[in-house]
Structure 1
Amino acid sequence: MSTMAANIGMMDGAYFVGRNEILAWINATLQLNLNRIEEAASGAIQCQMMDMSHPGVVPMHKVNFEAKTEYDMIQNYKLLQEVFNKLKIEKHIEVNKLVKGRPLDNLEFLQWLKRYCDSVNGRIMNENYNPVERRCKGVKERNPKVSSKGSKSLQVNNLLNFGSVDGAGFNTSGPNQERACAASVGANSASQIRALTERISVLEVSAGQLEKERDFYFAKLRDIEILCQSPELEQLPVADAIRKILYAAAEESVLAEA
């Protein structure tokens, strides 16, 4: 299963999932409020997605949700690559590209990650997984001396509610660390079900439009493929070049070789 998910080609439906659907998936699954793909460039979200799909495999206390510098982000991706190796997932992570925060590079990796998580979880969110509690626990283990009256308490609170970021860093509004953790641990299943139901409703509203958009562009690519197979064009070098691009795997760079 891991090898299959890692080797999906660029023509796979996974890479036709739009930016809005990816953001909705992240926000619904991890109870976040991301507005831009590049907000996931630190690698922390990817680590927590793997923590949800494979409980106990990711050492969450090592995940740095505060990572802002490339050095700190690289540490998160190193951790993620170690998890991939442990699970025998044959997926190379283009760390140098991802930490730059370019939307397209991060979108492609998140598209792959969604496909992988869907293949593991069957497109069903783990109802027993509390993402806020897991982040809270990881932050506590990472900063055992954090005091509720100290400045780091505010930093921990930021991590639990991160997603609304700007050039200055994380949003500083919201309850303190203790209240956030207590609310997370003590939340009853009924409120969680209501929250999930609301998120599912939002996803269902946009799902139809996203599927139409995906099918629209896939149909265009299919038309190009059929055109390249026509007797008039099949033997032309440009048709062969187009076919190479269409059939290239995720790790291949056809244009760079040309």
Structure 2
Amino acid sequence: MMNSEFILGRNEVLPWINSALHLALTQLEEVASGAVQCQLMDAVHPGMVPMYKVNFDAKNEYEMIQNYKVLQDVFDKLNITKQIEVNKLIKGRPLDNLEFMQWMKSYCSSVNGGNMNNYNAVERREACKGGKETSKKAATAQPSSKSPSSAPKAQPPSRSTKRSDRHAGNRPRRAPRLLSADVCDALNDLLRRLKLLVYRLQKERAFYSGKLRDIEILCQNPEMEHLPIVGAIQKILTAADESSSSPVVAEAEAMAAARRQLQTTEAAPRTLSPIPEETSEEEETSEEEKPEPKAKQEMLKKRKNVCTLDVNMAASSTLSPRRRLSGSSDVHS
């Protein structure tokens, strides 16, 4: 069965860190430097972590990687096989850091029941770089607790209280009532079903947590992170509670509705204008070349005169046989 520590949310992990190490963290991304994890291991395994190598003031990736190297060395000494995904943790991704801190909570609880009452977190943190400044910030952020002298004094018990206690002490104590075997079996069966239900819920939670982590990685793709809808998804993933994510959800829904309306407008059929009737070139040519009735008559008359002239010329050039004979006789004479 999965450990119940893995179902803790950020609102439960942060108070545990602040209480154990006397810090005042407000966001889970503040543990991305790896310094908090090193001190948690120092709390459950005193003397195993070289705190002088831990940097609570780590800002850039190089300094954060040095903290995780210290943590990895401690894991190797203790034969802890947990894989530290440094490249994801130093980027401050909420889901990755939440998952790792859930594991840290589970591990610390498994060692001596997670008892850190005798651990002086402030004193141990002074050996770290930036540890004193971190402790000062935590001290100013935490509300000042009331001193013991200002606490109200307990009033002495009244006579009636003493009298009732005296009568209560004289009463015989009742023996605890034993449950029957059927009731015990029913309770054991109920307990078994509840454990099975918790296991299924934990498994389902881990499944959807993995889905959310995949969505977050996809939204950080350089080809998609500039899209407005991707920005809305990232705001929803990083929202601290439901009240802060509701406006983002409404904004994303409005954006999706506008997108659907635009797609519907683009997909709507466009009305085509009527195509004008085109006449063929032959019809246009015949209509242009068609002369008026009067012009046509004059043209026919000219053609007739030309034909008559051609016939006369042909007739004059071609003589009959009688004409030829008469011509020849004239020559001989």
TM-score category (smaller protein)? 0.5 to 0.7
Match of 2:67 in 1: 76
2:287 corresponds to which residue?
Answer: none
Correspondent of 1:222 among 200, 203, 206: 200
Partners of 2:44 and 2:114 within 8 A in 1? no
Q: Distance between the aligned counterparts of 1:134 and 1:107, measured in 2?
A: 25
Paired residues of 2:44 and 2:116 also in contact (CA < 8 A):
no
The corresponding residue for 1:133 is 123
Which has the larger Rg?
A: 2
1:113 pairs, out of 104, 109, 119, with 104
Q: Distance in 2 between matches of 1:77 and 1:31?
A: 21
Tell whether 2:4 aligns with 1:13. yes
Distance 1:161 1:121, change over 3 A: farther
The equivalent of 1:48 in structure 2 is 39
- 1:224, distance to aligned residue in structure 2 (A): 11
Question: In 2, Cα distance between the equivalents of 1:112 and 1:14?
Answer: 7
Within 5 Å, give how 1:190-209 maps onto structure 2.
none
Partner residue in 2 for 1:23: 14
Cα RMSD, aligned residues only: 3.4
**1:77 CA drift (Å):** 0.4
C-alpha change, 1:162 and 1:103, in structure 2 (3 Å) is farther
| Aligned ranges 1:124-163 → 2 under 5 Å | 124-127=115-118, 129-139=119-129, 157-162=132-137
The aligned amino acid for 2:79 is K
When normalised by structure 2's length, the TM-score is: 0.42
User: Does residue 12 of structure 2 align to residue 34 of structure 1?
Assistant: no
Whole-Å separation in 2 of the counterparts to 1:87 and 1:112 = 16
Change over 3 Å in CA distance of 1:60–1:223 after alignment to 2: closer
- Superposed CA deviations along residues 80-122 of structure 1, whole A, max 9, x for unmatched, are 0010001111111000000000111000000000100000030
The secondary structure found in structure 2 opposite 1:55 is coil
Q: Could you tell me whether the CA contact under 8 Å between 1:52 and 1:126 is conserved in 2? A: no
Q: Is the 8 A contact 1:53 1:117 kept in 2?
A: yes
| Counterpart for residue 103 of structure 1 | 94
Aligned partner letter, 2:122: V
Give the letter aligned to residue 74 of structure 1: I
Shift of 1:137: 2.7
**C-alpha separation in 1, matches of 2:202 and 2:6:** 17
C-alpha distance in 1, partners of 2:99/2:5?
9
Contact 1:39-1:163 at 8 Å conserved across structures: no
Q: TM-score, normalised by structure 1?
A: 0.54
Q: Name the CA shift for 1:156/1:95 in 2 (closer, same or farther; >3 Å).
A: closer
Q: Distance in 1 between matches of 2:69 and 2:95?
A: 21
Q: CA offsets, 1:159-191, max 9 Å, x none?
A: 323569xxxxxxxx79xxxxxxxxxxxxxxx98
Q: How far does the alpha carbon of each residue in 1:18-70 deviate from its partner, in whole angstroms, 9 at most, with x for none?
A: 11110010000000000110011100000000001111110000001100101
Question: Which amino acid in 2 is paired with 1:41?
Answer: A
Q: Is the Cα–Cα contact under 8 Å of residues 42 and 76 in structure 1 kept in the other structure?
A: yes
Displacement of 1:13: 1.9
Change in 2 beyond 3 A, CA 1:52/1:156: closer
Distance 1:54 1:156, change over 3 A: closer
2: CA distance between counterparts of 1:28 and 1:133? 15
Say which of 73, 80, 88 aligns to 2:79. 88
Structure number with higher relative contact order (C-alpha < 8 Å, ≥ 6 residues apart): 1
